[in-house]
Amino acid sequence: MSGYITEEIPAEELTRQIEQARELGDSVRRLVTATVVTDVGEEELAEARAHIDAAAEILERSRIDSSFGLRFNSDGRLRNWGNAVEGIRNPLAPPVEFHAEADHVWAEFDLGPQYEGPPGLVHGGVIGLILDQVLGNAAVNAGSPGMTGTLTIRYRQGTALGPIRVEGRLDRTEGHKSFASGTISTADGLCAEAEGIFIMPRWARGLDASRQLGVGDA
């Protein structure tokens, strides 16, 4: 399966690259937020656009031919910088860092105005996006990774833009299927809950999840 890439980068160099990737992602995230809420006049809009286009041209001077994929290094560090939820260089991804505990994973982060659906509330699709990842990460954390087969979400109340907490856990496994569940909550309480079935596809069975798929304990 393409997109799973082994790259040997010396540890110190990789640390530096991770820092730079995070900084670039953070700068563009700031730009995305500013683009949604800016109230400047026509002249400043034109000035900002010129700078943005100039920055894009610099970045496009050298680029990879595909999406980023999942890259892993011999020191065990994985890079999924293009991931739509936790890719540090993907400005569409909220600034999220997942924490893995023995029996669950969690994260706390802010959802800005670019994630709006109903006024002042997080878009339902964004909630699905985040829950998919947190449940999938819970399955990975428990050593049973898989692709999302089914995801069921119950939206309990609107999720206000701003700080949220997400949690996910693996409930059980059955053969190639991992059953996970999780929640999104805010200061207002539980906002959405989900159950998901994550399945190890046929093509991946028999591969070492950490070495060949780049997930798990690597």
Ligand X SMILES: CCCCCCCCCCCCCC(=O)SCCNC(=O)CCNC(=O)[C@H](O)C(C)(C)COP(=O)(O)OP(=O)(O)OC[C@H]1O[C@@H](n2cnc3c(N)ncnc32)[C@H](O)[C@@H]1OP(=O)(O)O
In the complex, minimum distance from the CB of residue 177 to ligand X, in angstroms, rounded to a whole number: 5
In the complex, minimum distance from the CB of residue 173 to ligand X, in angstroms, rounded to a whole number: 11
Closest to 149 in 3D by CA, of 110, 193, 198, 107: 198
Q: According to the binding rule CB under 6 A, does residue 150 interact with ligand X?
A: yes
Given 145, 158, 168, 182, the residue binding ligand X (CB under 6 A):
145
In the complex, minimum distance from the CB of residue 174 to ligand X, in angstroms, rounded to a whole number: 7
In the complex, minimum distance from the CB of residue 189 to ligand X, in angstroms, rounded to a whole number: 25
DSSP state of 204: G
Tell me how far apart the terminal alpha carbons of the chain are, to the nearest angstrom.
18
Q: According to the binding rule CB under 6 A, does residue 206 interact with ligand X?
A: no
Distance CA(188)–CA(159), nearest Å, equals 8
Longest dimension (CA), the chain: 61
Q: According to the binding rule CB under 6 A, does residue 177 interact with ligand X?
A: yes
Cα–Cα distances (Å) from 37 to 91, 186, 214, in that order, read 16, 22, 38
Distance CA(104)–CA(141), nearest Å, equals 8
Q: According to the binding rule CB under 6 A, does residue 175 interact with ligand X?
A: yes
Given 11, 147, 152, 190, the residue binding ligand X (CB under 6 A):
147
Q: According to the binding rule CB under 6 A, does residue 125 interact with ligand X?
A: no
Applying CB under 6 A, which residues contact ligand X? Answer: 132-133, 136-137, 140, 145-150, 175-177, 197, 199-202, 204, 213, 215
